[in-house]
Structure 1
Amino acid sequence: MKLFVVKESRPGEKRVALTPASVAKAKALGYEVEVAAGAGAAAGFADSAYREAGATLVGSAAGSGTAAGSGSGAGAAAGSGAGAESSPAEVAGAIGKAQVVASVSPLEPSLASHLSPGSVTISFLQRERDAATIAAITQARANALSFDYLPRISRAQAADALTSQAIVSGYRVTLVAAGLLPKFFPLYMTAAGTIRPAKVLVLGAGVAGLQAMATSKKLGAVVSGYDVRAASPDEVKSVGARFVNIDLPPIDGAGGYARELGEERAKKQQELLAPVIAEQNIVITTAAVPGRPAPLLVTKQMLAGMAEGSVICDLAAESGGNVEGSVAGEVVNLSGVTLWGGKDVPSQMAPDASSLYSGNIVAMLGFITKDGALNLDKEDEVVRDSAVVLSQ
């Protein structure tokens, strides 16, 4: 069996699906590992490291890198980065010979069309957003497993890429916020006077939010958190933060996720959170609803109530934003408040993000491999739920 690791092509994506440290684990499952030349360069993993780990490189060691075309996926070869490069023909050929193709972003439709019947892609892949890629995979009579739909069960935890990447995002956004805030995080008591600790509020107590709370706490801030789910108070307290109690009943969605709020509930929540937000030095928003635009948590009017020099970091900016006025990938100033919109946040820590994602890939391979052969068991909950295309 062959496992092919694509070189990511979406602008801003620096991660790689498999690191050199995971090559041996994939080989132990029975896979010959092929890696597109330069696939790990943006994450700090040289081609030589893959060779030494036992992988075969596909493509020339010379070239100028790759860049995406009009799509948002992985594997398009033509252009802009630095380092090694595989030609489009070499990439297409490797995909056509592979039983499994691993990437972070979905394959470009033009590359997905080269998949062999019965082969499997493993990546992030959303049904509505990536319809063209899904159509190409279906036309090729291949299969697609997506980390976006992995069931939240204990036996699937090692393959949970949403969680692993959210940990990275929650940590990173806290450091960004600390860098933007013109004051200390911790309490300082000196002969010259006392500096009060920063106040940090995190909205959303999922994995990213809890990581942001824990990191803020370690940096010495006074941390509080809020989420609509019933389990949130205990989760917030577990990382040393204070839960913000407002006079609204909890709302839970499927699989432990939050669900979309109605308009009346959303407005009431904004009204109750406004005075809490006004007291903060930093607000970090991480709220997301699977398959839907991010909920609006902070309006411009609420933002204007914060002190000048305060910071808001919107980790959900790429999916519509939790904060009115946030722009993904940009820092803007509104009413004297610095507003940061997150974009490609895991890629800002590409080496560690890739290492975690690589572990998720290996775990997923374990669910579809038996006795050294590809085995897509439709009765397995992990395979069934994560399958976006199941042609076999």
Structure 2
Amino acid sequence: MRIAVARETRQGEARVAVVPELVGKLTTLGYEVLVEPEAGHHALIADREYAEAGASVDADALAVADVVVSVQPLPTASIRRLRPGAATISFLPTQQEPDAVRDLRDCGVTSFAMELVPRISRAQSMDALSSQALVAGYRCAIVAAGMLRRFFPLNMTAAGTVPPAEVVVLGAGVAGLQAIATARRLGAVVKAYDVRAAAAEEIRSVGAQSIDLELETLEGSGGYAREMTEDRAARQRELLTPYIAAADALITTAAVPGRQAPVLVTRQMVEQMGPGAVVVDLAAESGGNVQGSEPGEVVRIGDAQVWGGRNVPSQMPGPASRLYAQNVVNLVALMTREEDGEVRFAPDFDDEIVAGACVTHDGAIRHEPTRLALEGESA
């Protein structure tokens, strides 16, 4: 069985789906590992490192592979090079990539989407959303500290005392908690808010003050918050305004994959922040938590600079690739079987992890929401 590591071609994508130190795990499973030339270039990994780890660098890797792994969905030209019956593993946002889904179906390719891996205990080692959110949360705090023209920590000197920066974080999922922890390690005074009741204790556990707005909590499924009514959203924004106005830096991290990010902060709220304030909106690509933020851009609202995140994990491609690669290898291992002395990539579709992550198989779209959405488009 051959597994191929694709070279990413999308602008701004610097990660790679397998790193050299994990090649050995795949070969131990029984796979021959093929790597497209310069697949790890943007993550500062040379072809030589893959070769030394036991992989073959091969320009025709995709055409001969049984399984192809990548970070972003394969482009159409690459999908059409795959042999019928091959499988792909990647992020595959089906609502944003309907043409890729159709190509995978029509070419008879079995595809698995890393963001569809169920959020259950048994699948934690395959949860790429969480691993990449960890990277993004850290990066957000570093961006905020770099843009803010003052110290994060308290400094007491013979020349006087410099007070610490005040940071507010909205959203306390994996990314939010990492942003909080990083800002605290840098010495800032951090306050944070999340609509989920369980988040208050998690916020305090990483050294921040939990903001209590005395509103109804919104616990949802899969660890995410459920959607709020517009009346509650308006009341929440009203109660958050004084906290945001007093902050030197605001970091927003509230997002649910495949859905529009909730608007937590209006332009008017940002305009109340002081001169030199910084806003970091991790959710800018999915609509933004901050009204007026633009993905990949820094815009000025009032006296504040607003940084909109775009593919934030890719801004730290080394650690992001290593974490993602481990997720991918764990998923491959789950779907690998030895039959009659031969290793086979043999997904068990009765397994809830496999069934949940599968988008296309045997010429059909197996992911029901995607199938219904595409059927609705063609009706």
TM range (shorter): over 0.9
Corresponding residue to 2:125 among 158, 162, 166: 158
Q: In the alignment, is residue 377 of structure 1 matched against residue 348 of structure 2?
A: yes
Question: 1:129 deviation in Å?
Answer: 1.0
Distance 2:353 2:256 in 1: 21
* Corresponding residue number in structure 1 for 2:170: 203
Count of equivalent residues:
359
Q: Deviations over 1:137-158 (max 9, x none)?
A: 1112221111111111122111
Question: 1:160 deviation in Å?
Answer: 1.0
User: Residue 32 of structure 1 aligns to which amino acid in structure 2?
Assistant: E
* Corresponding residue number in structure 2 for 1:72: none
Q: Deviations over 1:287-327 (max 9, x none)?
A: 00232111111111000111111110001111111111111
Distance 1:341 1:166 in 2: 15
* Corresponding residue number in structure 1 for 2:360: 389
Q: Which blocks of at least 5 consecutive residues in structure 1 are unaligned?
A: 60-89
Query: In 2 relative to 1, CA 234–390 (structure 1 residues): closer, same or farther, beyond 3 Å?
Result: farther
Q: In the alignment, is residue 171 of structure 1 matched against residue 138 of structure 2?
A: yes
Distance 1:9 1:303 in 2: 36
Q: Deviations over 1:91-129 (max 9, x none)?
A: xxx323211100000111232233333321111012211
Q: Deviations over 1:328-369 (max 9, x none)?
A: 111122211111111121111111111111111111111110
Q: Deviations over 1:65-103 (max 9, x none)?
A: xxxxxxxxxxxxxxxxxxxxxxxxx3xxx3232111000
User: Residue 376 of structure 1 aligns to which amino acid in structure 2?
Assistant: P
Q: In the alignment, is residue 281 of structure 1 matched against residue 248 of structure 2?
A: yes
* Corresponding residue number in structure 1 for 2:289: 322
User: Residue 366 of structure 1 aligns to which amino acid in structure 2?
Assistant: A
* Corresponding residue number in structure 2 for 1:193: 160
Distance 1:389 1:261 in 2: 33
Task: Give the alignment of 1:142-153 within 5 angstroms.
Answer: 142-153=109-120
Question: 1:161 deviation in Å?
Answer: 0.8
* Corresponding residue number in structure 1 for 2:31: 31
Distance 1:30 1:348 in 2: 33
SS of the residue aligned with 1:211?
Answer: helix
Asked if the contact 1:126/1:146 (under 8 Å) is kept, the reply is yes
Q: In the alignment, is residue 311 of structure 1 matched against residue 278 of structure 2?
A: yes
Question: 1:56 deviation in Å?
Answer: 0.8
Question: 1:236 deviation in Å?
Answer: 0.9
SS of the residue aligned with 1:118?
Answer: coil
* Corresponding residue number in structure 2 for 1:43: 43
Q: State the percentage of identical aligned residues.
A: 50
Asked if the contact 1:286/1:315 (under 8 Å) is kept, the reply is yes
Corresponding residue to 1:301 among 268, 272, 289: 268
* Corresponding residue number in structure 2 for 1:68: none
Q: Which range moved further: 356-365 or 104-113?
A: 104-113
Asked if the contact 1:289/1:295 (under 8 Å) is kept, the reply is no
SS of the residue aligned with 2:250?
Answer: strand
Q: In the alignment, is residue 366 of structure 1 matched against residue 337 of structure 2?
A: no
Q: In the alignment, is residue 258 of structure 1 matched against residue 219 of structure 2?
A: no
Question: 1:190 deviation in Å?
Answer: 1.2
When normalised by structure 1's length, the TM-score is 0.89
Question: 1:258 deviation in Å?
Answer: 1.5
* Corresponding residue number in structure 2 for 1:62: none
Q: In the alignment, is residue 2 of structure 1 matched against residue 2 of structure 2?
A: yes
Question: 1:253 deviation in Å?
Answer: 2.0
User: Residue 193 of structure 1 aligns to which amino acid in structure 2?
Assistant: G
* Corresponding residue number in structure 1 for 2:195: 228
Q: In the alignment, is residue 348 of structure 1 matched against residue 319 of structure 2?
A: no
Question: 1:235 deviation in Å?
Answer: 1.4
SS of the residue aligned with 1:225?
Answer: strand
SS of the residue aligned with 1:173?
Answer: helix
Distance 2:362 2:198 in 1: 38
Asked if the contact 1:114/1:140 (under 8 Å) is kept, the reply is no
Question: 1:264 deviation in Å?
Answer: 1.6
User: Residue 99 of structure 1 aligns to which amino acid in structure 2?
Assistant: D
Asked if the contact 1:308/1:336 (under 8 Å) is kept, the reply is yes
Q: What's the C-alpha RMSD, in Å, of the aligned pairs?
A: 1.2
User: Residue 275 of structure 2 aligns to which amino acid in structure 1?
Assistant: E
Distance 1:189 1:335 in 2: 31
User: Residue 173 of structure 1 aligns to which amino acid in structure 2?
Assistant: C
Distance 2:206 2:113 in 1: 30
Distance 1:290 1:382 in 2: 17
SS of the residue aligned with 2:332?
Answer: helix
Q: Deviations over 1:35-79 (max 9, x none)?
A: 0000001100001111111111113xxxxxxxxxxxxxxxxxxxx
Asked if the contact 1:259/1:289 (under 8 Å) is kept, the reply is no
Distance 1:13 1:45 in 2: 14
SS of the residue aligned with 1:158?
Answer: helix
Q: Which range moved further: 254-263 or 324-333?
A: 254-263
Distance 2:362 2:219 in 1: 33
When normalised by structure 2's length, the TM-score is 0.92
SS of the residue aligned with 1:373?
Answer: strand
Q: In the alignment, is residue 120 of structure 1 matched against residue 87 of structure 2?
A: yes
Distance 2:206 2:103 in 1: 44
Asked if the contact 1:19/1:355 (under 8 Å) is kept, the reply is yes
